[in-house]
Structure 1
Amino acid sequence: MGVKDYAADIARALAFLSRIPVPSSVFVGDDGNLGRVSRAFPAAGLILALPAAFVFGLLLLLHVDALLTALLALAFQTLTTGALHEDGLSDCADGLGAGKDRDRSLAIMKDSRIGTYGAISLILSFGLRAAALAAIARGLPPFAAVLSIPAAAAISRGGMVWHWHALPPAKSDGVAAAVGQPDGEAMWTALGTATLVAAILLWPVTGLAPVVAILFVVALCTFSFTARIRQRLSGHTGDTIGATQQICEIATFCTLAMSI
Structure 2
Amino acid sequence: MREYMRDIARAVAFLSRIPVPTSFFTGYDGKLARVSRAFPFAGLLIALPAAFVFGVLLALHIDPLMAALLALTLQTVMTGALHEDGLSDTADGLGGGKDRERALAIMKDSRIGTYGACALILSFGLRAAALAAIGRGTLPFDSAAALLATAALSRGAMVWHWYALPPAKPDGIAASAGRPDGDAMQLALIVALGLATLLIWPSLGIPALVPCLLVTAAATFLVTRRVRQRLSGHTGDTIGATQQICEIASLCTLAMCI
Class of the TM-score when normalised by the shorter of the 2 chains? over 0.9
Aligned residue in 2 for 1:114: 112
Q: Which residue of 2 aligns with 1:48?
A: 46
Aligned residues: 258
Whole-angstrom distance in 2 between the partners of 1:150 and 1:181: 26
The offset of 1:86, in angstroms, is 0.1
Aligned partner (choices 144, 156, 159) of residue 142 of structure 2? 144
Name the counterpart of 1:75.
73
Correspondence for 1:220: 218
The more displaced of 39-48 and 202-211 is 202-211
Structure 1 runs (4+) deviating above 4 angstroms are: none
Residue among 191, 205, 208 paired with 2:206: 208
Alignment partners' CA distance in 1, 2:73 and 2:67 = 10
Give the TM-score normalised by structure 2. Answer: 0.99
Amino acid at match of 2:103: S
Q: Deviations over 1:223-242 (max 9, x none)?
A: 01100100100000000000
1:52: how far off?
Answer: 0.2
Deviation at 1:175, TM superposition (A): 0.2
| CA offsets 1:113-158 (integer angstroms, 9 cap, x no match) | 0000000000000000000000000010111111011111100000
Report the 3-state secondary structure (helix = DSSP H, G, I; strand = E; otherwise coil) of the residue aligned with 1:49. Answer: helix
Partner of 1:168: 166
Q: TM-score, normalised by structure 1?
A: 0.99
Partner of 2:13: 15
* 1:185 lines up with 2:207 in the alignment: no
Q: Summarize deviations over 1:33-79 as a string: whole Å, max 9, x none.
A: 10000000000000010000111011111111110110000000000
Q: Which residue number in structure 2 is paired with residue 195 of structure 1?
A: 193
2:94 corresponds in structure 1 to 96
The answer as to 2:229 corresponding to 1:231 is yes
Deviations 1:213-254 (A, max 9, x none): 011000001001100100100000000000000001001100
For 1:201 and 1:211, locate their aligned partners in 2 and report how far apart those are by CA, in whole Å.
Answer: 9
CA distance in 1, matches of 2:214, 2:56: 31
**Range that drifts further, 157-166 or 141-150:** 141-150
Unaligned stretches of 5+ in structure 2?
Answer: none
1:248 aligns with 2:246: yes
Q: Secondary structure at the match of 2:171?
A: coil
Q: Kindly state the Cα deviation for residue 201 of structure 1 after the two structures are TM-superposed.
A: 0.7
Sequence identity (%): 69
Separation in structure 2 between the aligned mates of residue 122 and residue 12 of structure 1, nearest angstrom = 27
Q: For residues 31 and 12 of structure 1, what CA distance do their matches in structure 2 show?
A: 11
Q: 1:85 aligns with which of 83, 86, 90?
A: 83
Amino acid at match of 1:54: F
**In the TM superposition, what whole-angstrom CA distance separates every residue of 1:86-110 from its partner, at most 9, and x where no partner exists?**
0000000000000000000000000
Deviation (angstroms), 1:80 = 0.3
Give the aligned CA root-mean-square deviation in angstroms: 0.5
